[in-house]
Amino acid sequence: MSDGAQGAGSTEPVVDVLAPREVLGHEVLVQGRIFDLVRDEVDLDHSVVHREYVDHPGAVAVVVLDDHDRVLLLRQYRHPVRRELWEPPAGLLDVAGEAAQIGAARELAEEADLVAASWHTLVDYYTTPGGNNEALRVFLARDLSPVPEADRHVREDEERDIEPRWVPLDEAADAVLRGDLHNPSAVVGVLAAVASRAGGWASLRPADAPWPERRQAQD
């Protein structure tokens, strides 16, 4: 019997677990404005290796649904990939001690001029665990109202040219599966919303659900 067949019969739950290896040395190679490039010397028990990765504060994204089952997507230029991507409102968790949902609400107001009365945790993921420790939480936000004109954020740089569009959720999911959408929070968030809706939204967690994967500001 192959290892694959043996693994298929396991009764252990499929759950990611915290299992740190001993770090023998840590070096900051490049210190950036938002995140750093670092190198760790890691003891894997059977060998010692050096691993370079981006040390990232983490981020949040918001799948925003209106009363017509449409999701809000924003077109924004992303320089590393030289493309304008359709993505949900999102932003960094770069305010020390700030709750993730508060940060998400701020991004929703700043990028989309919206306030949501209903918040839930939709899905959590690591964006690039092979080379980046960024943990990202995607919220589901509903029961929307506009930010008053006098209180609206003045968008600058890439955010200045943001184009919003309300897209039926099923159409957004089709766009993901066609390969038309590539922003990871759009891909993960849209498909998670479709799956959760199919189950009557029973999978939704509270907005303040535990999130041990989030890197703490003091780390």
**Cα Rg for the chain, rounded, in angstroms?**
19
Binned at pLDDT 50, 70 and 90, residue 124 comes out as very high
32 and 48 housed in the same domain: yes
DSSP conformation letters of 19-69: -PPEEEEEEEEE--SS-EEEEEEEE-SS-EEEEEEEE---EEEEEEB-TTS
Burial class (CB in 10 A: 0-12, 13-18, 19+), 12: exposed
49 and 121 housed in the same domain: no
Distance between CA atoms of residues 9 and 12, nearest Å = 9
43 and 147 housed in the same domain: no
Reference 70, options 194, 198, 180, 192; nearest CA is 194
Task: Evaluate whether residue 8 is within a structural domain.
Answer: no
Number of domains comprising the chain? 2
The pLDDT of residue 218 is: 37
The mean predicted confidence, pLDDT, of the chain is 90
Q: pLDDT tens digits, residue range 76-122?
A: 999 999 999 999 999 999 888 899 999 999 999 999 999 999 999 99
Residues with a known catalytic role: 159
Task: Evaluate whether residue 45 is within a structural domain.
Answer: yes
Task: Evaluate whether residue 10 is within a structural domain.
Answer: no
The alpha carbon torsion through 91, 95, 99, 101 (nearest 10 deg) reads: -20
50 and 65 housed in the same domain: no
pTM of the model: 0.89
In this prediction, what percent of the chain has a pLDDT beyond 90? 69
